[in-house]
Amino acid sequence: MVAGYLLVDIPPANAAATAQSNVYLYSDGSQLARDGEVNRVNVPLSQIPRTVQEAVLAAEDRDFYSERAVDPKAMLRAAWNTATGKGTQSGSTITQQYVKNYYLGQEQTIKRKVKESFIAIKLGREKSKAYILEGYLNTSYFGRNAYGIQAASQAYYGKDVGRLTTAEGAYLATLLNSPSAFDVVSHPQSRPRALARWNYVLDGMVKQGWLPDAERATTQFPEPGKVRAAAGLSGQRGYLVEAVKDYITENRILDDKTLAEGGYAITTTIDRRRQNAFVEAVDNQMTAKLDPQKRTADRVVRAGGVSIDPATGKVVALYGGIDYTKQYVNNATRHDYQVASTFKPFVFAAAVENDSRTQDGRRITPYTLYNGDNKRPVVGGRIRFAPENEGQVSYGNITVNTATDLSVNAVYAQMAVDVGTLKVKETAVALGIPENTPNFDPGPAMALGTMQASVLDMTQAYATLADHGRRTPYTFLEKIAKEDDTIALPERTPTQAVSREAADTTTSMLVSVVDNGTGTAALAAGHPAAGKTGTGELDRSAWFAAYTPGLVTVVAMMGQDPDTGALQSLYGALGESRIGGGGYPARIWAAYTKTALEGTDPVDFDLELQPGAAQPPPPPSFESESPQETAPGERTPTSPGRPTRPTPPNPTNGQDQGGQDNGGRNQGGQNNGGQDNGGQTQGGQTQGGQNNGGTTQGDQAGTSAGNQAGTSQGTGQGAAQGADAGTTGGLRPPSAFLE
């Protein structure tokens, strides 16, 4: 100890005290962005309000004025907690943190820690506590490229440090623990953790006698101001840099403070040509058509998108918003919009993965028949749930494939219960949806996409489907280097998340969505594609998630008030009464994909399907006029006509298809209780007849004719359906809900 004390001198200030910029590069090595000059203004301790100083001490080192420069007990306790899995802890005093910030660096090595201890001891003997606290407050990193308390005060509250309130000082002190993650503006999903830390700081001040109980009780959280991005981060550059930084810190490649020291050359996976193509597609297909002066609804329109190479997991393009200096929240990584019906493929993938069956024992395949009637109560679940279909349309019995084409909520809510909602969640997590995603609650409503995953998360999950069920964790990084040192990147070993059969059978249905369903706008890309549309509750979001065999892209439109940040409906935007996923998002997807794959030949999907999934049924037809769109690109029947039930392959005495042969079409169905007697003219083709009970005259004829025949002459499942479902009848007015 004596030798160490004598041999270690206090060194000059390190590079962190005059931190450099980081350089971000496209995958081809050309410069994407430089994260700007360091923002630092040193101030004397006398200009920092006493309560702000005390808030920092309450957050970081409450015994600062009474303790020694190094606390061996705290260091041993932190080492033990880290080693035993109780979380990484520093055990450092403020003196040690100041030494690390100003004289050494952020690297986590034993050599640095030992050297830090000796310098701290020597500094503690030679300098006053006021000197050390002043240095610490002027060298600490607070996020938003702000070094020191003065720069942080300006960055978050637009005022000099001398005007900070106790509440504001406590929030800045909170940021010291995790500068990027606790920025509630840039990362709204971290608000609960940030508020918990802020309360911890204030409670610590009360405990130390620095804040009266009465003042604590009335203290309100001080909302920080908007992010003011550096000019060099305008356009998409700021969104890309932010996403890359988050990836680096969340994967613990470098921590916030180390990365903020600068001097790193960061080569990203972003393909410059495809990135430009994404921006051009959004501009041409959406942004150029916005007219906020003429249409007030156009003010709320936002867009986000991500494109991934499914074979490598590399993010090749990202669209975060119109301009990082104007819209600072990254629409590609935010977690506050429902994903709507883009979740439905995960339900079917879970069904195939788990060899799931319906309530009456039929294996779930693309051609399994389900009742698609509007507000049909889900059977077999613990929660009563009767979901509405888009446009309040009732379809009668339809195949899963047709229900996917038309995005029928009633079918998928029932399927989620048939599979088991916990199994559905497990499959979604395996595909790539984070388990802690907001509103990711297992229940029948999850099939409608009530969870709030980011566009990036959804792209990861769809990339797993595209790569035949093999999940390769996404990455933004090709290489990180500083001078001659290359930083190790995390392993990204691919895993088989779901069976190839489950993934490929799901893909086969999503191909049908593009060819025949709500996603036909994607055909303009000129490449075989599989995809799914989605429209969130009250039209607050509209999604199109789709892929070719070699490229996966998800596009979302979102409504957000530009002044308050509140989520808003997209009703009336771009002159449309409704905004659906098959409209603008699908057109953006097609325009981008066409350019991104320019010069490559179209490639068909190579699929291995589950047994019984290879034989397609005849396409559905309608009794009356053609279906009309309730939202641009969302093909949804609005007439009383319902799709005729397609004939499934290999019927087996009515057992596999709900009695279509013995208990349905022949005895209680098409012939006796169906098209002839209780059927097409009086009330039977959909409900009491070919399917269950009655369209033309519905309640009256379906009950008197279809039900009578279905009950007296039908047998098994077909008779039960003929009797139970004949009273549904006509349609209700459209309403707003998840598609």
What CATH number corresponds to the domain at position 365? 3.40.710.10
Residue 425 lies in a domain: yes
Residue 9 lies in a domain: no
Same domain? For 143 and 292 the reply is no
Same domain? For 379 and 458 the reply is no
Residue 247 lies in a domain: no
β partners of residue 146? 39
CA 58-139-71 angle, 5° bins = 50
What's the rounded mean pLDDT across residues 581-588?
Answer: 96
Same domain? For 58 and 139 the reply is yes
- Cβ atoms of residues 310 and 550 within 8 Å: yes
Residue 176 lies in a domain: yes
Return mean pLDDT, the chain. 80
Q: What is the pLDDT of residues 118-146, one digit of tens each?
A: 676 766 677 788 888 898 898 888 988 88
Q: Which of 249-258, 286-295, 422-431 bottoms out in mean pLDDT, i.e. has the lowest?
A: 249-258
Among the candidates 554, 577, 603, a domain finishes at 603
Residue 160 lies in a domain: yes
Query: Going by C-beta distance under 8 Å and a sequence separation of 6 or more, which residues neighbour residue 503?
Result: 349, 464, 465, 467, 468, 469
Residue 673 lies in a domain: no
Among the candidates 205, 229, 253, a domain finishes at 229
Residue 543 lies in a domain: yes
Same domain? For 58 and 177 the reply is yes
440 has a pLDDT exceeding 80: yes
Angle of helix 272-285 relative to helix 584-596, nearest 10 degrees, comes to: 150
**Catalytic center residues:** 60, 341
Q: Give the separation between CA 571 and CA 536, rounded to whole angstroms.
A: 12
Same domain? For 51 and 183 the reply is yes
β partners of residue 557? 303, 542
Q: Which of 153-162, 424-433, 498-507 bottoms out in mean pLDDT, i.e. has the lowest?
A: 153-162
Q: What is the pLDDT of residues 647-692, one digit of tens each?
A: 333 433 333 333 333 333 333 333 333 333 333 333 333 333 334 3
Q: Give the separation between CA 176 and CA 191, rounded to whole angstroms.
A: 15
Residue type, position 25, single letter: L
- Torsion, Cα of 398, 404, 406, 408 (10° steps): 70
Q: What is the pLDDT of residues 367-425, one digit of tens each?
A: 999 999 999 999 998 889 999 998 899 999 999 999 999 999 999 999 999 999 999 99
Instruction: State the pLDDT confidence band at 285, using cuts at 50, 70 and 90.
Output: very high
Residue 103 lies in a domain: yes
| Residue 429 pLDDT | 98
Q: How many domains are contained in the chain? A: 3
- Segments forming the whole domain that contains residue 100: 37-229
N residues, the chain: 739
Same domain? For 371 and 361 the reply is yes
Among the candidates 549, 574, 603, a domain finishes at 603
We report the CATH number of the domain holding residue 210 as 1.10.3810.10
CA nearest 664: which of 648, 631, 688? 688
Same domain? For 528 and 407 the reply is no
What's the rounded mean pLDDT across residues 542-554?
Answer: 97
- Cβ atoms of residues 185 and 224 within 8 Å: yes
Query: Going by C-beta distance under 8 Å and a sequence separation of 6 or more, which residues neighbour residue 319?
Result: 236, 239, 278, 279, 282, 303, 304, 305, 306, 331, 332, 555
Q: Which residue has the tokens 């409704």?
A: 578
Same domain? For 210 and 68 the reply is yes
What's the rounded mean pLDDT across residues 301-325?
Answer: 96
Q: Give the separation between CA 90 and CA 71, rounded to whole angstroms.
A: 11
Strands (E), 345-484: 369-371, 397-399, 470-471, 477-482
Q: Give the separation between CA 532 and CA 507, rounded to whole angstroms.
A: 10
Residue type, position 80, single letter: W
Q: What is the pLDDT of residues 606-653, one digit of tens each?
A: 999 998 787 655 555 444 333 333 333 333 333 333 343 333 334 333
For 384-410, letters b (16+ CB in 10 Å) and e give ebebbbbbbbbbbbbbbbbbbbbbbbb
Q: Which backbone phi and psi does 626 adopt, to 5 degrees? A: -65, 155
Same domain? For 87 and 212 the reply is yes
CA nearest 204: which of 53, 49, 59, 52? 59
Same domain? For 430 and 508 the reply is no
26 has a pLDDT exceeding 90: yes
Same domain? For 417 and 460 the reply is no
pTM above 0.75, yes or no: no
Same domain? For 321 and 365 the reply is no
